[in-house]
């Protein structure tokens, strides 16, 4: 890898900023903030058994997560249900409207991503995204 010029960290950071800048208006057009989108996404595959666990998943301080959840629940996009097995806990889950909003956001984000990657040949694109996801999955959250 002696030919590599830029640090991985610098490239990732730069692309993160670019993605955030690109995603923000897409989400805003659907009435969703970035943290809200992150939370909705985290619930896509299934409910979080506790708010604390959701906070850890999205790496957002549990106390600062409250207003985000308040807002989303207030809009009917997610529900917080006391867990009968342990009433200290509240199970957090997407509602149908929440799923619909998330799907709309996701569609916009996907379109943006596809456009962003359009200049990369298909075979390389496939390798890039596969390796990217593998690397990301290997990092602790």
Task: In whole angstroms, give the CA distance from residue 81 to residue 54.
Answer: 14
Decide if residue 80 touches DNA (CB under 7 A).
Answer: yes
Contact with DNA (CB under 7 A): which of 18, 31, 86, 97?
86
Smallest gap from Cβ 128 to a second copy, in A, equals 4
* Cα 50–Cα 78–Cα 109 angle in degrees, nearest 5: 105
Q: Cα–Cα–Cα angle for 70, 82, 77, nearest 5°?
A: 35
Q: Which is nearer to DNA, 4 or 59 (CB)?
A: 59
Beta strands in the chain (DSSP E): 78-83, 86-94
Return the residue of 22, 41, 62, 95 that touches DNA, per CB under 7 A: 62
Among 35, 41, 71, 79, binds DNA (CB under 7 A): 35
CB 103 within 8 A of CB 77: no
DSSP state at residue 33: -
Quick one: which of 70, 83, 86, 133 contacts a second copy (CB under 8 A)?
Answer: 133
Q: Which residues are at the interface with DNA (CB under 7 A)?
A: 35, 50-52, 59-64, 66-67, 69-70, 80, 86-90
């Amino acid at each position: 890898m002696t030919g590599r010029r830029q640090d991985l960290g610098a490239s990732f950071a730069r692309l993160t900023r670019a993605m955030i800048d690109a995603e923000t208006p897409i989400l805003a057009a659907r009435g969703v903030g970035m943290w809200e989108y992150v939370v909705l996404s985290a619930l896509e595959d299934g409910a979080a058994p506790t708010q604390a666990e959701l906070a850890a998943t999205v790496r957002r301080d549990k106390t600062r997560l409250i207003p985000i959840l308040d807002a989303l629940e207030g809009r009917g996009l997610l529900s917080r249900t006391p867990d009968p097995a342990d009433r200290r806990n509240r199970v957090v889950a997407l509602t149908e409207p929440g799923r619909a909003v998330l799907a709309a956001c996701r569609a916009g984000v996907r379109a943006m991503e596809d456009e962003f990657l359009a200049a990369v040949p298909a075979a390389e694109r496939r390798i890039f995204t596969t390796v990217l996801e593998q690397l990301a999955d290997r990092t602790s959250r």
